[in-house]
Amino acid sequence: MLRFIIRRLLITIPTIIVVITITWGLIRLAPGNFYTGDKALPEAIEQNIREKYGLDETWHQQYLRTMGHVLRLDFGTSLKYEGQSVNTIIARSLPVSATVGILAYLLALAVGITVGSIAALKQNSKWDYASMTLAMLGISIPNFVLGPILVLFFSLTLYWLPPSRWDGFPSKSVILPVITLSAIYMSYIARLTRAGMLEVLRSDYVRTARSKGLSETQVVIRHALRGGLLPVVSYTGPALAFLLTGTVVVERLFALPGLGNYFIQASLNRDEPLILGIVAFISMTLLTMNLLVDIAYGYLDPRIRH
């Protein structure tokens, strides 16, 4: 197990280097520069900027310097938000994204597993068909269509919830973003749970548990769920990637000051340090979470030990 973790951690570093290299390459290969605007700068000013940011060095010198900074997790200051270091911006916006993301995932787990298990236990019933159609709908309706429709209904018609704004965690402003974000996972998790449970409910060990005389509740909760949820656990990896795109949309829709919103702004502004910082941070988070998922998988399913 330890060897597996160490090996995986060793792959993580090259992967991050690849991501940063691609991102850096794209930024540098694109025509123009971060300081080029509608008006041409006076030559002296342009020269000063080029000197300050070391743009006259050879490209590999610049690449190595950037890489050195990234590997030391020192991304420098933002080009657009003057005087703010990239690390400050990440530290400030991460809690917003993380709150929305984690709450959405928890909601999706709770609803998805419940609905999926009920659908599996009452296979081919009205409940089963209704919930699976609803789940397919949840997968098909993009979150930036769902979000405004919810806003239209709950904010602009019923006046219950704010249409956009961020008031911190325990506040009404969290509800709509979280529901919008979690709809798609909820649907996926419900489908995965149903499929996993159906497979497990027919297996021998569940029959053994039943024949021991355990109550149906105990069979489902103690025995079937553990095996039936394996697909849900392995979905966590892809879910994180979805979460990433999802939070970007939700943060734009509801004007939340989160990481995704900053990332889009940074891309539009060509704010190289901020782009690299956020990309590196997101990649590290994704890779770490994927590793944790694999470890958890090994514990849940003793057949898969690394």
The Cα 59–Cα 264 span in angstroms is 26
The Cα 224–Cα 117 span in angstroms is 10
Is 142 or 168 the residue whose CB approaches other proteins more closely?
142
The Cα 179–Cα 105 span in angstroms is 10
| DSSP per residue, 120-180 | HHTTTSHHHHHHHHHHHHHHHS-HHHHHHHHIIIIITTS--S-SS----SSSGGGHHHHHH
**Shortest approach of other proteins to residue 140 CB, angstroms?**
4
Is 147 or 219 the residue whose CB approaches other proteins more closely?
147
- Tell me if 167 sits within 8 A of 90, measured CB to CB: no
**Shortest approach of other proteins to residue 114 CB, angstroms?**
19
| 176's tokens | 């709509």
| 58's tokens | 């050879």
Residues that bind other proteins (CB under 8 A): 11, 14-15, 18-19, 22-23, 26-27, 29-31, 123, 136-137, 139-142, 144-145, 148-149, 151-152, 156, 194-195, 198-199, 241, 244-245, 248-249, 252-253, 263-264, 267-268, 270, 275, 278-279, 282-283, 286-287, 290
Residue with tokens 């909820």: 186
**Shortest approach of other proteins to residue 48 CB, angstroms?**
24
Is 45 or 137 the residue whose CB approaches other proteins more closely?
137
**Shortest approach of other proteins to residue 263 CB, angstroms?**
7
**Shortest approach of other proteins to residue 26 CB, angstroms?**
5
Residue of 182, 179, 228 whose CA lies nearest to 203? 228
Is 149 or 221 the residue whose CB approaches other proteins more closely?
149
Is 107 or 139 the residue whose CB approaches other proteins more closely?
139
